Structure 1
Amino acid sequence: METMTTPKTTTKQRLTITFGIIAFILAVPLVAMQFTKEVDWKLFDFIIMGTLLTLTGLAIEVVTRNVKTAAWKIGISVVLLILLLLTWIELAVGIFGTTFAGS
């Protein structure tokens, strides 16, 4: 009987993938700015979004390393992604009206 093994990724590989995804996400508005005036990001916007994405990616990496069960890993990662999206929405349009978004 054959034993099936799943390939394990190293920390370096996971971080490379994480930063690649972050670069791709940040490239979307950068490219869109070349074709439309509706996307108007400044350097500060890229810095803030890059920081948010990096912190979220690293937090998910820490969860992946330290949490044992898959259900908890997924649950905590989903919560982190929801927090990222809520922060992004607040910064973009001030949906909650906090001073954090400049309202």
Structure 2
Amino acid sequence: MFKTNEYFDGKVKSIAFETAEGRATVGVMAQGEYEFGTSTVEYMTVISGQMDVMLPGESTWKTYKEFETYIVPKDVKFKVRVNGDTAYRCLYK
């Protein structure tokens, strides 16, 4: 069954589900800047909109557009900035 998640006072929401590749979420983020932590490797794909991302060890933001994927290592914190409603899929490995 599906599980819903809500973060940052409802500005980030997602639905968790199982895929053939493993556990995943599909969600949306409202305009803002967020910091997330990981417990597994995460493959983040932008579905709609765009995300500015600052991965650990980086000093500049990198922009990811629709259908682009970035990979976040396990047990780190990373920052995401969106300028408008943005949809994503996260695959946990």
TM-score normalized with structure 2 length: 0.25
**Highest CA radius of gyration, 1 or 2?**
1
TM-score normalized with structure 1 length: 0.24
Greater relative CO, 1 or 2 (CA 8 Å, sep 6+): 2
